[in-house]
A = this chain, B = another copy of it.
Amino acid sequence: MGATTESPRQRYRAQVQEEIKQHAWEQIATAGASALSLNAIAKQMGMSGPALYRYFANRDELITALIRDAYQSLADAIRSAAAGGADLRGLAQAMRAWALEDPQRYLLIYGTPVPGYQAPDDTRQLTNDVMTKLLEAAGGAGLGALPASPLGEHLAASDAGWATAYSAEPERLHRAVVFWTRLHGVLSLELAGHFSGMGFDPARVYAAEVEAVAGH
């Protein structure tokens, strides 16, 4: 991808940064994001604590990089599913698979936010990528019309700057939003373990919500 020829130093730097993030993901997967320790990562990599600060100015910057990667990974998963011709159902399954692959990665994006935290601008772009794929699929063939509702009118009237390409088709917007919120509802409760011990299969609840939106 048109990278202006990298110096060996830049190369090395990028490699180490990647390795740091690798270790960070392992920590997060086993103990959650709040337990992430730069110090521990440094030790694992055989170097002393402060060395890490050459690569990430502070803990927040590392976490932000991880969030960025998580968004990127989700966007990729969605994009490749869409490229493979997946419809709304397909995207839903791709999202679920991606989430179950590493629950803490999903929760890093959609879980509890730190009150002050502001996501960097480029993650907005990645969110838009995901929403755009959703919007495209939300206009797919074989979808029945959504019942008219106040929400439909509200969405039609709202200035969805992020979805201007589809502002002429509020129906899509409506379906995409409902799709997103319902799937997230099931997924996040499942990942947080709130279904455990309730005796039913989260996959079936998820499938039912997919059908409710993707219609027949």
A54 to chain B, nearest CB (A): 26
- The reply to whether A204 and B154 form a contact with Cβ atoms under 8 Å apart is yes
A194 at the interface (CB under 8 A from B): yes
Restricting to A21-67, which residues have a CB under 8 Å from any CB of B? Answer: 29-35
Is A207 an interface residue, CB under 8 A from the partner?
A: yes
Q: Is the CB of A192 within 8 A of B111?
A: yes
- With contact pairs A112-B192, A201-B154 given, residues A149 and B181 touching in the complex (Cβ less than 8 Å): no
A136-175 contacts to B, CB under 8 A, are: 149-151, 154-155, 158-162
Q: Which of A9-17, A78-86, A183-191 has 4 or more CB atoms under 8 Å from chain B?
A: A183-191
> What is the count of identical protomers in the complex?
2
B32:A200 contact, CB within 8 angstroms: no
Size of A's binding interface in residues, CB under 8 A? 52
Question: Known: A116-B31, A177-B205, A186-B181. Is A199-B151 also a contact (CB below 8 A)?
Answer: no
Q: What are 12 A-B pairs at a CB distance below 8 A? A: A29-B115, A31-B115, A32-B112, A32-B113, A33-B112, A151-B208, A154-B204, A158-B199, A177-B200, A184-B185, A185-B188, A188-B188
Q: Which are the 7 A-B pairs with shortest beta-carbon distances?
A: A185-B185, A111-B112, A151-B208, A34-B34, A181-B185, A158-B200, A107-B112
